[in-house]
Each structure stands twice: as structure tokens, then as C-alpha cells.
Amino acid sequence: MKLTETQKLEALAARFYQGLEWKPKAGDLYTTSRADLEVYEVVDVTCGKVFTRYTEGGDLTVSEWPETEFLTEGFGPNRVWVPPHVLST
């Protein structure tokens, strides 16, 4: 799955302009603040870990991140939640 340019802009606006807060949960989709249209999925949040996967191609590799750092440390602040209403535009 890839976002359209409009969807990417709407997700960025929701985060940076409207201040929409995100507590990751299984099934959530997110992108990054990079100039791309890539989408990632939160597979699970359990035992203090956030498990994610890239949604493009057939690679089902799951990555693991500490839940306490997922949005705040390293690359974390660059993650941008894609709220469900963004996908309907």
C-alpha cells in the first residue's frame, strides 16, 4: 500500500498542524515525515514492544521496537500516524 500525495499531506497536517495525538495499537497505519508515500502497519503492541511491518511487496518481516521509545527516541519522532479518515480521501 502507498499513500497518495494528498493523503500524505493530510496525515502530516493531522500530526503537525492539528496536533492529533497517537497511541499505537494493532492495525494502525503510519508513514514518516520523509518525502515518500510509504506506509507501515503496527502488527501488535505487547510486552512493552511495538511490532511493525512494511506494507509494500511480499516481505512480511516484522520489526520490533521498545514501546516507550517508539514515538520519542531515534527515528520515533518522524513517525506519522495515518488516521482512518485520511484513507477515505
Residues 31-89: tens digit of each pLDDT: 999 999 999 999 999 999 999 999 988 778 899 999 999 999 988 999 999 999 999 86
The count of domains in the chain is 1
Range of the domain at 69: 5-87
pTM, to two decimals: 0.91
- pLDDT of 11 > 80? The answer is yes
Alpha-carbon 43 to chain mean position? 11
pLDDT of residue 46: 95
- pLDDT of 9 > 90? The answer is yes
Would you say 81 and 66 are in contact if contact means Cβ atoms under 8 Å apart? no
pLDDT of residue 60: 83
The residues with which 13 forms a beta bridge, in sequence order, are none
Torsion of CA 16, 6, 78, 67, to 10 degrees: 90
Which amino acid does the sequence have at 18? Q
